[in-house]
Amino acid sequence: MTVTGFSITVPDSWFELELHPDARNAAVNSLVETRLKDVPELYEHRSALAKVLRETARRAYDSGARFCGTLVTVVGDAIMSATVTVTVVDAPDGQGAADAITPHLTARPRRGADSLWREIESVEIPGAGRVPRTRGVDDVTLPDGAGWVRSLIMQTFVPFPGPEPTRVALITGSSPVLALETEFFDVFDAVTATFRFTGA
């Protein structure tokens, strides 16, 4: 198969964002209006919802993502969010096989309830076989020196098909809602499992 793209599916309650700067603002406005028809109680939060979606799309585009799906929901007076992006990156040292990627990943042990940590594991992706993954808690730097946000992070490295792959699809799930670690890691795992390369 000659790979021409990929597909990935997020839950129906999530937004799939248009990333290109020329189209994303209009697309976000349309998404918000559509969601308000389904969930009228979000009306008073429509400005905050649109702002979060625009910022998420901007950050995804600036990081080189080719896909961005995000959950944005209101809990009380707070906005709860989670994001899954897909970015195509060059394989480390030009070698994209799963066993060539793993040595470049580093673990970080948990040292307390509020510490940063990272585990390395191997997971099965249909059509791609076993691939490396990291999961943990890390500080995500915000654009333009706006600070950082401590977040749940899951990253899965899926080599492109071929005898000597040189590109990798990096699927990243993230959320600042640390209290829902188990729940969001389960969601990120389920979304990642839908990833497929597409082509002729």
Q: What is the pLDDT of residue 2?
A: 64
Q: How far out from the chain centre does Cα 191 lie?
A: 9
pLDDT tens-place string over residues 65-102: 999 999 988 777 777 899 999 999 988 877 778 888 99
Go through the domains of the chain in sequence order and give each one's CATH number.
11-63 (no CATH), 69-199 (3.40.1000)
Q: What is the largest CA-CA distance in the chain?
A: 53
The answer, as to whether pTM is greater than 0.85, is yes
